[in-house]
Amino acid sequence: MRVRPLLCILVAFTAAGVVYSQQQQGPGSRSADAEQGRGQIDVNVLQVPLMVSVTDSKGKLIPELGRNDFKVYEDDKLQTIRSFNRETDLPLSIALLIDSSGSVIEQLKFERAAATDFFFNTIKRKKDRATVLYFDSTVNQLDVGTRDGFTDEAEKLAEAVRLIKAGGGTAVFDAIYIAVQKALSHEEGERRKLIILISEGEDTASRLSRS
């Protein structure tokens, strides 16, 4: 059984860092109730959910934390935490990045096996979604038969992974950037977004810098 501990902190923000913001209205936009002396005030409050996972120095999850263990700041101003919930089974959106450069030719079989094993042990049908990007000197998204490259079928992901060939440089930074900006940024709703990177780690071909 998978357990995905996740703390969700809901914070009330405004542009000025104050908990509430009152919508400004001109003289001609006052409500009928206000005109009649009822004193109605329209208030808009923007609540921003912050999803947080906390681990100790050994990487072990710390699930017993509560609202009072957190402080949230915006522009150095302390915000008010409006609600605090523990979410243990949010849907996953996963971008799996596989190094297919020439330097991993000997390890490519292991990478394919690790990716396949991960999908079959992680993806829940009709709930989680995953996509695969492989990179050498360039970054490519595997075709799994869907328009956006995401699927909840581990079999399709595994079948696509088997087609990866190795060769070329290593564009790690480009791959991470594209995974965030082009793939995961379009995943909507309350989903936990993950990047899984399988690589030797040494970048030799990215157009983007580490920063």
34: pLDDT strictly greater than 90: no
Which pLDDT value is given to residue 61?
Answer: 84
DSSP summary character for residue 80: E
| List of long-range contacts for 150-156, beta carbons under 8 Å, 24+ apart | 150/93, 150/183, 150/187, 152/123, 152/124, 152/125, 152/126, 152/127, 152/128, 153/123, 153/125, 154/116, 154/119, 154/120, 154/123
Is pTM beyond 0.85? Reply is no
Q: For the beta carbon of residue 199, count every other beta carbon within 10 angstroms.
A: 20
Residue 13 to residue 24: CA distance in whole angstroms: 17
Instruction: Answer with the residue of higher pLDDT: 152 or 54.
Output: 152
Provide the residue type at 29 as one letter. Answer: S
CATH class, domain 92-198, is: alpha beta
pLDDT by residue (tens digit) across 91-139? 999 999 999 999 999 999 999 999 999 999 999 999 999 999 999 999 9
